[in-house]
Structure 1
């Protein structure tokens, strides 16, 4: 009897509705093995010896060892006009009606082909100011975001798979308070995730309880009485003269941001100066936006293809004293995964020519992990304890360093990425922290990919892989139900059992669970932060992490989470506390589900 890779109904459902290749009544993929073969064949086609690489790629995909991003699984080898890239950041929005609607059109074309998009709206002048060229009064960035939101809803009504968008705004933009409050009504901007771009100077002003100027680049000549300061600004190569509109207390603005996040789960925070300081391409680009879930900070027209190593596949002797990881198997799978993801860049279509130019010039990829929490349980480790963080960091170190060594070998074989400046690349802060053999390899041979690691949410592909825990998140709960969209447009309800619990029951039946079976609800926010901080040193892109906060958590305790995230060197922070607008992400037992639209399983970024 043939081996069935699926052990849960929802996994088969995810494959059937999201990744199975069918055209009308014709089912090209009769089984998930056909899907794996289709992806392997397509990505091997760019190799000199396609047949040999196809078999290696297939072996990495088999039994969900390597999980390419959802766009790769759904689109590779099909006749659809789609991109294989999950993530895009769009171009700088020019502060004019032409520029705004050009940006809207580019976003629509990108989402139509399956890409999630990020925008920085900081270039749009604040509400109430006058555009001197036409004498009209500006309505501000938040009002124009509503046009994007309507566009996204319209695309979804035509059957587009997803409509995830990220909007960012600088912490010193005069409309930042309106941006902070933008999603406090249940019917506003539901297709956007929001994040404030927080600078080092702002965090310093908070610590010093100083005033904070809200500014915007000067248009034309300064007027009498204008206070002018120089600021780095979105879309500009260097500092610009900016007019101070008003001053607020830094701590008051921070508290307003924290209160919105506490009450409504948005906006998140992006530590943008740290992102740019640690960017491997610090010499070639400035970043002011991310993909919809935040794990890929990107420059204008930047793109990134994603993939995740399913760690549960590499546990040996689970639940036993000698439980360990197959380190050799993990390393060899990482090597194959990097090659496959690099080939995606050559195999993919792009909605816009500028996206293709940027992707092929940098060859950025984002390889990460999923199933971490389940893997720790299988190894007998408690997610909230130091031993688990040490093992997780060791795993991510192996993924990172193996990926870099593989990329150097690919550069020897195929050439480095076109935008590479070896001397400046080696001077980058992240690169300087890598082992000497990696830096020497870059010096001698270059490197194929500008960036290599990212940790994505992996919500959908983790469900596909028999409901392993997603990304680096703790197990949400060991029993819960999920409401998902069926092919006929109706919703089905699936009872889910966590992969580690299912494994335990297969071995030990109803025996009492070890203390390592710990879920999100049993972990303090500090445990979430500590795990993210343990992995961050080995991630050159970023990490998508949601810190679940109990509803009863006090505001004073809550707002300290973000300051600690900054102190721990994280690139961003997102929390979720149940609230009347967004409800709960998943449902335990029979509680009603009301997930944020951009984070539902229908439109996740994987």
Structure 2
């Protein structure tokens, strides 16, 4: 048996750095997220070339089951250097990876048939959500089946609690599931017809609530018409019922304005134009056979029926532009057509690979050392997914690098000319993907329930047939291999490896500035900036990779150092000028999305980025234009809006508390105590385990006694990167330019250089942050440490992950209790006497000698 070579992180990083031509971010992302690893973190691939060989071998293994198979070299050339075809994260990680038992699907939707608002049904959905997330899938489900608040129920509660408590439950479950260094992803949706939809829309406006889910409202054409006309609108439960149990008349305009306000304020809820989704959906032609669309995946680009799933692939549009950034630029539609057909073929192969993965998952569940009652729920879940996925063979071919393609063609993103061109590309994508699916139906067989008569009135199918009558004739003769084929996903980290713009989005910034910390005593070091605590930084310019290509093609020196004025002039000369995420005409972007949507059978993940100073009227106008333009959904993000909600809540509370304190002559509340904090505190670093995650606590000390505590994830992508050797340092209070405060941790490395971890207070899940503020508050008022520990232990927390975190914080604080301190009111679990004392952070019974540590 051949022993696979194991690479160190540094070996893989260096090989990948060379592969990506010196792009450190791309190399680091690939090694951390996509290189094949086992459960111990051993790395078995040195660069993406190894990964692409692995994927190509598996694709060809499936190809050889069918007529006219592709060769391994053909597949590898399509994948190599992320030039043409890029599998999404789950397929890229999981194909040919025998070290983990995980699904290749990026997205799932779940939902029980029939009356599903009992506690049993709600808890079953919760369980299924977690089971899918632990296999790396993002999950969506709809809450419209849950009866509204105050409805009578046949249990001791007497009336229903409504939607919001269950939103929080599902959100917490998402936060508890780790997926190889990242959190699970969840979409919760509800129909605008539901009497509790207003509470759903408001749920995330409270700080710390529903932090583990995206939320979207399913909006009907009838509601939009009523909102625009300022008419009354009737909600009911069950939604769609001719004999509802609950009816409620509301002002459509009033509820619409709340949706607009909350989206302006916090970027949520998103809106799903549900009638457009259902009207255009090909799978809904088979609704009575189980393909009725009920919700979407977490990013909204895949509307799905219950227990269906989808795998994703993107095509790098930039690679089809010949002579990019010149007046001879042209798009190679012939090569593009060939590659789209192959991408659709590879996607169908991945469906077969997913069936194999599901068999492995089911086999593992079957042989797990648990009782049958526990295992049966997960096993039955995967049975349902296998049946639905195999029946429809749904695929998700999409694109990335749209923004770079437009710039390379000498067009400006958001203009009418650019929109006309890009629509022609998406039309070609749709026609060639569907042609490929028809060819595969002839060679491999159509999807199980294909019926041309059912699809005869579908607008999307009729659009294809009008554009290509031969496609219509062939499809009606041979059928189609896949029930639906296309989507446009965000392609977040994968676009870092293609080194292009993401998905359908424009470039975020073509040139920007970064700072790198330096030791001013080293030779040949340039110090451009010194912060408040004396750390030195060198500033350097980062170029978007395709902007750099534009410079090289146009004879502009890429090695010299440019001033900011010179950089501004370069950007003005480039096709990226006035074409960044914050520059594009917002209404044109929405209309462009609507035009492209006509050639995408699923949906499009796209965000309209707005500056902070826009008003709510613009958001209202954008949403209405998105509906009228034929978009299936719309998400807006106003710069700073997410953090703005949290800031406004805390600021208002601080002012209110101070005013009440002055009025009643009471001691000032917690925020006033912060102002008395010294700028610099000594700090101990305490590490602990939170479930399977590694966490770290920073305990700020005043005169050697705990004064405050911060905690965060250790070595997570979005957490705190800290060498294991660091056990002490300083916590430094900083004031940002906007007047807000942050707390940085500073330590000296082995060579004596100071290193700063910025923004400890920003490393928190808000649920942990609230409890940490409570603990810090009582520490600052000098409550005895043993009583603080007792307070922490008494917190009644439903979330198991927070309980594990709580135990870690207790352990961190116990080291500061003086030896011999007696524990009052607590009996020894062995002898029953109240004779417990602290000794070196452990509880010792002075009567029988029993001890408990940790």
> Structure 1 length as normaliser, TM-score?
0.88
Is residue 2:505 matched to residue 1:473?
A: yes
SS of 1:425's equivalent? coil
Q: Distance in 1 between matches of 2:623 and 2:763?
A: 23
Task: List per-residue Cα deviations over 1:47-69 (Å, max 9, x = no partner).
Answer: 22698432221111112111111
Q: Residue 595 of structure 1: CA displacement?
A: 11
| 1:344 match | 350
Q: Residue 26 of structure 1: CA displacement?
A: 3.9
* Structure 2: runs of 5 or more not aligned: 1-14, 362-381, 516-538, 558-568, 646-736, 739-757, 767-854
Is residue 2:117 matched to residue 1:117?
A: no
| 2:596 match | 535
Q: Residue 246 of structure 1: CA displacement?
A: 2.2
| 1:16 match | 31
Is residue 2:89 matched to residue 1:70?
A: yes
Contact 2:612 2:641 in 1 (8 A): no
Q: Distance in 2 between matches of 1:481 and 1:152?
A: 35
| 2:294 match | 288
Change (3 A) 1:159 1:305: closer
Contact 1:83 1:113 in 2 (8 A): yes
Change (3 A) 1:596 1:479: farther
Given candidates 133, 136, 161, the residue that maps to 2:182 is 161
Within 5 A, what are the aligned runs for 1:239-278? 239-278=241-280
Q: Residue 583 of structure 1: CA displacement?
A: 6.3
Number of aligned residue pairs: 564
Within 5 A, what are the aligned runs for 1:190-589? 190-217=211-238, 232=240, 239-285=241-287, 286-348=292-354, 349-350=357-358, 352-434=382-464, 435-466=468-499, 468-480=500-512, 497-507=543-553, 508-509=555-556, 512-513=570-571, 514-517=573-576, 518-582=579-643
Task: List per-residue Cα deviations over 1:343-367 (Å, max 9, x = no partner).
Answer: 1111112462211111111111111
| 1:32 match | 48
Q: Distance in 2 between matches of 1:243 and 1:289?
A: 23
Within 5 A, what are the aligned runs for 1:62-141? 62-64=80-82, 65-79=84-98, 80-92=100-112, 94-132=116-154, 136-141=158-163
Change (3 A) 1:441 1:242: same
Q: Distance in 2 between matches of 1:537 and 1:562?
A: 18
Task: List per-residue Cα deviations over 1:186-233 (Å, max 9, x = no partner).
Answer: 31111211100001111121233211112112xxxxxxxxxxxxx53x
Q: Distance in 1 between matches of 2:104 and 2:514?
A: 27
Q: Residue 312 of structure 1: CA displacement?
A: 1.2
Q: Distance in 2 between matches of 1:572 and 1:252?
A: 20
Is residue 2:233 matched to residue 1:186?
A: no
Q: Distance in 2 between matches of 1:500 and 1:436?
A: 38
Change (3 A) 1:102 1:330: same
Q: Distance in 1 between matches of 2:594 and 2:212?
A: 29
Contact 1:408 1:445 in 2 (8 A): yes
Is residue 2:76 matched to residue 1:58?
A: yes
Task: List per-residue Cα deviations over 1:368-405 (Å, max 9, x = no partner).
Answer: 11101111111110102111111111111111111000
SS of 2:271's equivalent? strand
| 1:149 match | 171
Change (3 A) 1:260 1:482: farther
Higher RCO structure (Cα 8 Å, ≥6 apart): 1
Cα RMSD for the two superposed structures: 2.7
Contact 2:175 2:183 in 1 (8 A): no
Contact 1:282 1:428 in 2 (8 A): no
Rg larger for: 2
